[in-house]
Structure 1
Amino acid sequence: MSLRQYEYALAVAEAGSVTAAAELLHVAQPSMSQQIRGLERELGVQLFDRTPTGLVPTAVGHAFLREAEIAVSASRRARATARAGADELVGELVVAAQLGFGTRQLPRALGALRRRFPRLEVTVFEEPSSAELDRLCRRGVLDLALMAECERTPADAHHLGDEEFVVVLGAGHRLLAADRVGLRELAREPWVRFDRDSALDRVLLKVLGDNELTPTTAARVSQTATAARWAAQGLGVTLVPSSAVPAGYEHLVRPVSPMVSQPVIAVVRSSVGRAAAALLEQLRQESWSRSFAPVS
Structure 2
Amino acid sequence: MTLRQYEYALAVAEQGSVTAAAELLHVAQPSVSQQIRGLERELGVQLFARTPTGLVPTVVGRAFLREAEIAVNAARRARATARAGADELVGELLVAAQLGLGTRQLPSALAELRRRFPRLEVTVFEEPNPAELERMGRRGVLDLVLAAKTCEEGSAEAYHLGDEEFVVVLGEGHRLLAADRVELRELAGEPWVRFDRDSALDGVLRDVLRDHELTPATAARVSQAATAVRWAAHGLGVTLVPASAVPPGYEHLARPTFPVVSQRVLVALRIGAGPAERALLDLLRQETWHKSASFAPGALTAAKEAGAA
Q: TM-score normalised to the size of structure 1?
A: 0.71
* Partner SS state of residue 268, structure 1: strand
Structure 1 position 289 matched with structure 2 position 293: no
Counterpart for residue 22 of structure 1? none
* C-alpha separation in 2, matches of 1:116 and 1:92: 15
Q: TM-score normalised to the size of structure 2?
A: 0.68
Counterpart for residue 175 of structure 1? 176
* C-alpha separation in 2, matches of 1:86 and 1:213: 56
Note the residue ranges of structure 2 that are not aligned, 5 or more in a row: 1-74, 302-309
Counterpart for residue 101 of structure 1? 101
Greater than 4 Å deviation, 4+ residue runs: 76-81
AA aligned opposite 2:201 = L
Structure 1 position 123 matched with structure 2 position 126: no
Cα RMSD of the aligned pairs, angstroms, is 1.9
* C-alpha separation in 2, matches of 1:97 and 1:78: 22
Counterpart for residue 236 of structure 1? 237
AA aligned opposite 2:212 = N
Whether the 8 Å CA contact 1:152–1:267 is kept in 2: the answer is: no
Whether the 8 Å CA contact 2:138–2:151 is kept in 1: the answer is: no
- CA change 1:99–1:209 in 2 (3 A) is same
Shift in Å, 1:150 = 2.2
AA aligned opposite 1:162 = D
Counterpart mapping for 1:120-159 below 5 A:
120-153=120-153, 156-159=157-160
* Partner SS state of residue 114, structure 1: helix
- CA change 1:91–1:181 in 2 (3 A) is same
* Partner SS state of residue 156, structure 1: strand
- Count of matched residue pairs: 220
Counterpart for residue 111 of structure 2? 111
Superposed CA deviations along residues 138-158 of structure 1, whole A, max 9, x for unmatched, are: 110000000011244386111
Shift in Å, 1:77 = 7.3
* C-alpha separation in 2, matches of 1:286 and 1:244: 15
Structure 1 position 216 matched with structure 2 position 217: yes
* C-alpha separation in 1, matches of 2:252 and 2:227: 16
* Partner SS state of residue 249, structure 2: coil
* C-alpha separation in 2, matches of 1:131 and 1:265: 15
Counterpart for residue 261 of structure 1? 262
* C-alpha separation in 1, matches of 2:188 and 2:86: 55
Note the residue ranges of structure 1 that are not aligned, 5 or more in a row: 1-72
Q: Radius of gyration: which is bigger? A: 1
Counterpart for residue 249 of structure 1? 250
